[in-house]
């Protein structure tokens, strides 16, 4: 595309709960691999466990806010004394800085859409929020993730959201129930197929040629070989960030050599061209270095 073409920036962040970077690199499912081929795949690590227990609410709070738990103070899935209200989620901050930015979140974990623990982590600036209570479904995330992808596929293809976060939890459940083995690998494969559905929906948009879609993929923590997390082993602390453009990358795109999960929020804001209010801290840096 020529530099004079006015393109509309779009960002999709996809969260897969409890996916180990080493396992993902070994499996290398086709959709996430193709996004990495058009961008970068960073192995990342959660901070020491005394700063960041490898718990779900902790990991997603850090990613969504761009600060580590020493600032947001979500230190467990209970999160009784946290300060997350002082470090709102990245979609809310983008919307507050520019209300023309259309924000969309979809998830079925309790922390995102209910008062459970530190929730709801997706705040008032997530203007379209699809949330299912996974407890209402017999197979939990294995069922509710299907509802999330049906919603995301439709909305990303047919509606006009600029900044989206879509979360899937089946991978974490599979590791808890069966350890890191065949069931877990199969769940990762299903997440990749869901990612493929979103990519196809986006690339089929009638306006796709005038849009610049940055897709970012990440997780909140790893798992012990036998399943389970919360401690400070390398297996539990390992995470990843994959970022890439669908279609042609903007000219002269360069990526940072190193990444942390708190870099996702400022990367999204940089691509969207939005500067959230600085009274809300962000300690990450954009991974787009052009
Ligand atoms: Zn988790």
Q: Residue 2's pLDDT is what?
A: 46
Tell me, in angstroms, the distance from the centre of ligand 1 to residue 221's CA. Answer: 6
Asked if residues 34 and 237 have their Cβ atoms less than 8 Å apart, the reply is: no
Q: Residue 252's pLDDT is what?
A: 82
Fold of 12-272: Alkaline Phosphatase, subunit A (3.40.720)
Q: Residue 125's pLDDT is what?
A: 98
What residue spans define the domains of the chain? 12-272
Tell me, in angstroms, the distance from the centre of ligand 1 to residue 126's CA. Answer: 21
Tell me, in angstroms, the distance from the centre of ligand 1 to residue 7's CA. Answer: 35
**176 preceded by cis ω (within 30°)?**
no
Task: Give the 3-state secondary structure of residue 92.
Answer: helix
Tell me, in angstroms, the distance from the centre of ligand 1 to residue 113's CA. Answer: 15
Tell me, in angstroms, the distance from the centre of ligand 1 to residue 12's CA. Answer: 19
Tell me, in angstroms, the distance from the centre of ligand 1 to residue 58's CA. Answer: 9
Tell me, in angstroms, the distance from the centre of ligand 1 to residue 47's CA. Answer: 15
**Token reading at 246:** 């669908």
Tell me, in angstroms, the distance from the centre of ligand 1 to residue 17's CA. Answer: 5
Tell me, in angstroms, the distance from the centre of ligand 1 to residue 254's CA. Answer: 30
Rounded to the nearest 10°, the torsion over CA 125, 173, 62, 104 is: -20
Tell me, in angstroms, the distance from the centre of ligand 1 to residue 160's CA. Answer: 29
Tell me, in angstroms, the distance from the centre of ligand 1 to residue 109's CA. Answer: 9
Q: Residue 5's pLDDT is what?
A: 58
Q: Residue 101's pLDDT is what?
A: 98
Task: Give the 3-state secondary structure of residue 104.
Answer: strand
* Tens digit of each residue's pLDDT, the chain (290 residues): 444 457 999 999 999 999 999 999 999 999 999 999 999 999 999 999 999 999 999 999 999 999 999 999 999 998 778 999 999 999 999 999 999 999 999 999 999 999 999 999 999 999 999 999 999 999 999 999 999 999 999 999 999 999 999 999 999 999 999 999 999 999 999 999 999 999 999 999 999 999 999 999 999 999 999 999 999 999 999 999 999 999 878 888 999 999 999 999 999 999 999 999 999 999 999 999 97
Tell me, in angstroms, the distance from the centre of ligand 1 to residue 172's CA. Answer: 6
Tell me, in angstroms, the distance from the centre of ligand 1 to residue 194's CA. Answer: 18
DSSP of 142-199 = HHHHHHHHHHHHHHHHHS--SEEEEEE-HHHHHHHHH-SSHHHHHHHHHHHHHHHHHH
Tell me, in angstroms, the distance from the centre of ligand 1 to residue 100's CA. Answer: 32
Tell me, in angstroms, the distance from the centre of ligand 1 to residue 253's CA. Answer: 31
> CA of 74: how far to CAs of 26, 83, 127, 189, 262, in Å?
32, 7, 24, 30, 14
Asked if residues 32 and 197 have their Cβ atoms less than 8 Å apart, the reply is: no
Tell me, in angstroms, the distance from the centre of ligand 1 to residue 102's CA. Answer: 27
Tell me, in angstroms, the distance from the centre of ligand 1 to residue 156's CA. Answer: 24
């Amino acid at each position: 595309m020529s530099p004079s073409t006015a393109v509309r920036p779009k960002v999709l962040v996809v969260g897969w709960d409890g996916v180990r970077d080493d396992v993902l690199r070994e499996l290398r499912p086709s959709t996430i691999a193709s996004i990495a081929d058009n961008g970068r795949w960073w192995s990342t690590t959660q901070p020491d466990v005394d700063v960041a227990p490898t718990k779900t609410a902790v990991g997603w709070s850090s990613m969504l806010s761009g600060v580590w738990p020493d600032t947001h103070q979500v230190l467990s899935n209970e999160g009784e004394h946290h300060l997350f209200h002082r470090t709102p989620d990245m979609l809310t901050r983008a919307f507050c800085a520019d209300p023309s930015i259309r924000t969309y979140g979809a998830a079925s974990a309790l922390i995102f859409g209910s008062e459970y623990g530190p929730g709801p982590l997706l705040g008032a600036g997530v203007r379209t929020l699809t949330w299912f209570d996974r407890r209402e479904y017999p197979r939990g995330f294995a069922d509710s993730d299907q509802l999330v992808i049906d919603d995301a596929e439709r909305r990303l293809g047919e509606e006009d959201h600029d900044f989206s976060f879509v979360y899937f939890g089946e991978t974490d459940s599979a590791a808890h129930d069966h350890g890191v083995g065949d069931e877990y690998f199969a769940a990762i494969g299903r997440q990749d197929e869901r990612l493929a559905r979103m990519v196809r929906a986006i690339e089929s948009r009638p306006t796709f040629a005038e849009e610049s879609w940055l897709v970012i993929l990440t997780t909140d923590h790893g798992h012990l070989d036998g399943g389970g997390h919360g401690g400070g082993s390398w297996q539990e602390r390992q995470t990843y960030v994959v970022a890439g453009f669908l279609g042609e990358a903007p000219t002269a795109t360069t990526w940072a050599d190193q990444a942390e999960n708190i870099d996702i929020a400022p990367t999204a804001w940089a691509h969207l061209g939005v500067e959230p209010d600085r009274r809300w801290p962000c300690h990450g840096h954009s991974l787009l270095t052009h």
